[in-house]
Structures are given as structure tokens and as C-alpha cells.
Amino acid sequence: MVSSELLRRYPFFSGLSRDHINILAKISDEITTEADQYFFHEEEELNKFYLILEGAVGIIFKLPERDVKHKISEQFARDMKTRDLVLSTVGSGDVFGWSGLVPPYKATAGVKAITPCRVVAIGSQELVEIFEEDYHFGYLMTQKAAQVIRDRLRDLRIESLAFIAE
């Protein structure tokens, strides 16, 4: 459990009632990680979403190695040599792992710590169950997750255009 006062400081939770923030605090834990530690990999089932208190994480996509010839059987089995591509970096005050709030509750990308991090891990499975009873809370949190998705897509589009322009 984390302090509700801690959560109240961050813009992602603005507009939520005191009761909603107290619920979030009860299903949250503060954790620390070293640089290069993965929080999760693409396609893993997510049972938490995260708020970064300190540090930065990279949103990771695995790409097949260019100089390696992969057999068709390896391609079908997804057993290829890969490398990490950092699509974007997020830092203090940002959230990640929003896929834990949206069916099918699987990661759309991997996330790993770029620096040592201190984060709040919020139980998304518990939260989804709470949303089934408190639709208004579920609606507010879904709106907040949608804003994160919108911003990440916008940032990815801008970064892609910058890459093409080089």
C-alpha cells in the first residue's frame, strides 16, 4: 500500500475523488528497480500498471536482427534472434502498462528501466473488478488511459516523421 497523498501529487490522478485515490492507494505498492531491468515483455499478460516516481523507462519493441538469416520455421515459431528498439522514453510522473486496464490485458510493447527507477505498481486486475461495481470510476480511468494512448501515438508519429526526414 502507498500513501494516497503520494498519488494525489501526480496529474494522472487529477479529477479523481478522495475515495477513488484511496482505493488506488490500497491496491498499490512502491517498488525500485535497477537500470536494464524489464518490467514486462510484449504480449505478456499484465496485472499491474505503473506510475514513475523517479527515473526513466524505455518502451521497447523487439526487432529481428538484420544480419541473421532466420529459417521459416523460426519465423513461424517466433524463435528469432532479436534486438531491442526503444520506441519512446517516459519519466517521472508518467504512467505505463495501461494495457493492464484494457482487454485482453496484454502488453502491446515491452518496458525496461533505462535508469534506476522508483515506481508505484497498481494492481490492474483488482482495479478492473472495482470498475465493474463503480462504473463512474471505470469511465474516468478509461478516459485517462485513452489520453496516455493518444499522447503515445502522437509522440510516435512525430518521432517517425523526424526519422524519415533525416
Dig out the grid coordinates for 82 from the structure.
532479436
Share of the chain above pLDDT 90, in %: 72
Would you place residue 70 in the very low, low, confident or very high pLDDT band (cuts 50, 70, 90)? low
Architecture of domain 30-165: Sandwich (2.60)
Domain ranges of the chain: 30-165
Percent of the chain with pLDDT over 70: 87
User: Smallest Cα–Cα separation from 4: which of 160, 122, 139, 145?
Assistant: 122
Q: Report how far residue 117's alpha carbon sits from residue 139's, in angstroms, rounded to the nearest whole number.
A: 29
Residue 165 CB burial class (10 angstroms; 0-12, 13-18, ≥19): exposed
Distant-in-sequence, close-in-space partners of 137: CB < 8 Å, separation ≥ 6: 16, 20, 23, 130, 131
